[in-house]
Amino acid sequence: MLDQTRTPVFTAIKQYIEEGVIPFHVPGHKQGRALAEFKEYVGERVLAMDLTCVPGLDNICNPRDVIREAEALMAAAYGADYAFFLVNGTTSGIQAMILAVCQPGDKIIIPRNAHRSALGGLILSGAHPVYIEPEINEDYGISMGVTPEKVERALKDHPDAKAVFVISPNYYGTVPPLKEIVAVAHEFDVPVLVDEAHGAHLPFHPALPLSAMAAGADLAAVSAHKLAGSMTQSSFLLFQGERLDPKHIKAVLNLSQTTSPSYILLASLDVARKQMALRGRELLERTLEITWWIRRELSQIEGLNIMGDEVTSLPGCTALDPTKITVNVQGLGLSGYEMEAILRREYKIQVELSDLYNVLLLVSIGDDRETAGRLVAAFQDIARKRSLKNVIRFCPPLPALPRMAVLPRAAFYSQTRSIELEYAEGEISAEAITAYPPGIPLVCPGEVITREIIDYVNLLKNEHADLQGPEDPELKFIRILKDTVSLMEHEKASRAGLA
């Protein structure tokens, strides 16, 4: 058993500072002396901690000392064989997972609503995505998880797939039947990669959903900063099992991992892990008590609907993380965007996100009764001031998945031009268009734009929905591949084995 009271990186940093070392090394601000205005605001100690890879502080690219020990402690705390610290955010972990399993042209089974970092991984690796559509919750207009049946069907149709990529939990806290998905994939001897950005707290309380490692996943990229208390951009990648090689995973990480990591971020990972390992259950017990209180109070406000455990009976969802509170505000005659603006402008409260129907509230170990009380009081006050009016925002069924003409990598590296979206039917998109709700791309780079997609985008624009991805924020124009015909002919020939 490893000693979870230890904080190897944080302790080494403190020792280095206490020794009074005179730095003739980077960073050039020299413990804040060259950054006086910033130091005055954030404090001398923070800037003194901003160190580099010097003797006693180890090297993140080839850890042998304190970073290695801290990563071993993290792995033990999360029930993994190995953990790798990330200071480029979970984005770097997601992209490393895909790069580690896919060579150019290799297939990977992936949910259509994967985070944009996964699209980056597809472009960097040259992988061939086999998209599976997540289930949709019509009441809240959000995408949920994929089902084991869809995963099994995809693996049968594509037995050469190199991995299955899964999101668990998603942004709204819904958890797919991950254990069953892992079992299906492993029957085909295919590794499972999990985007667990929103699940850093899961292993530390029995009332929370199953974590990726507990479900048997091979790799999981986890954002410690989201719900485990570390600083923004600090994450880690977990590894277990024998289907993949941990040395290869580390080699892939070193392709994009910075050689100048923030030791402040590394120290925050170290301390956050210690806190969760030693006091996680206690801290989360309090957090859950606050969460249930908020849910009860908000559910009593006329005009609000709170997403709860009823969703766990729907396809693609077996559990819900209660610390993510999805509040449907249509009954107040508001969109989620409008509610977000009111809360920020009039009550100095910032929600995690908003969409056409909902606002999402994130409750963590940093909250207390005071912050919870102010949140509930704000909703109560807003509801009192409004005459209730059910506003039904129109969000029709998604159009069919478009045909992939070229792989995302080929689309990314192709020459492009911009045309009006209205005249883009039949062209190959160089951009992704993602609609919120439900957070699923309508078209991805390399796919053919259909009239159905164009009409759907126009409809959502009329409903003032959030459409993200293209360079043009108004989405009047979209970038397409210049040489559409030759690219499609090349892809056709490639499929036929002629090129």
Distance CA 161, CA 163 (A): 6
- Residue 499: its pLDDT value, please? 43
Distance CA 38, CA 401 (A): 49
Digit-coded pLDDT (tens) for 32-52 = 999 999 999 999 999 999 999
**Residue 226 near residue 197 (C-beta atoms within 8 A):** yes
Distance CA 129, CA 127 (A): 6
Q: Is residue 493 over pLDDT 80? A: no
Q: Is residue 205 over pLDDT 60? A: yes
Our measurement of the distance from residue 181's CA atom to the centroid of its chain's CA atoms, rounded to an integer in Å, reads 19
Q: Is residue 498 over pLDDT 50? A: no
Digit-coded pLDDT (tens) for 422-465 = 999 999 999 999 887 677 899 999 999 999 999 989 988 887 77
- Residue 486: its pLDDT value, please? 47
Higher per-residue pLDDT: 387 or 320: 320
Distance CA 280, CA 288 (A): 12
Residues 368, 374, 378, 384, CA torsion sign: positive
Strands 477-481 and 82-86: unpaired
Domains for the chain: give ranges and CATH numbers: 8-277 (3.40.640.10), 282-385 (3.90.1150.10), 408-495 (3.90.100.10)
Digit-coded pLDDT (tens) for 147-159 = 999 999 999 999 9
Which residues are CB-neighbours of 175 under 8 A, at least 6 positions away?
145, 168, 169, 209, 210, 317, 318, 319, 320, 321
Judged by phi (left if over 0) then psi (alpha if -120 to 50, else beta), residue 229 lies in left
Our measurement of the distance from residue 152's CA atom to the centroid of its chain's CA atoms, rounded to an integer in Å, reads 24
Of 255-264, 277-286, 396-405, the poorest mean pLDDT is in 396-405
- Residue 108: its pLDDT value, please? 98
Digit-coded pLDDT (tens) for 299-342 = 999 999 999 999 999 999 999 999 999 999 999 999 898 999 99
CA atoms within 13 A on the CB side of 201: 29
Cβ–Cβ contacts within 10 Å for residue 260, how many? 11
- Residue 391: its pLDDT value, please? 62
pLDDT > 90 fraction of the chain, expressed in percent and rounded? 85
Digit-coded pLDDT (tens) for 82-129 = 999 999 999 999 999 999 999 999 999 999 999 989 999 999 999 999
Q: Is residue 1 over pLDDT 80? A: no
- Residue 346: its pLDDT value, please? 97
Mean pLDDT over the full length of the chain = 93
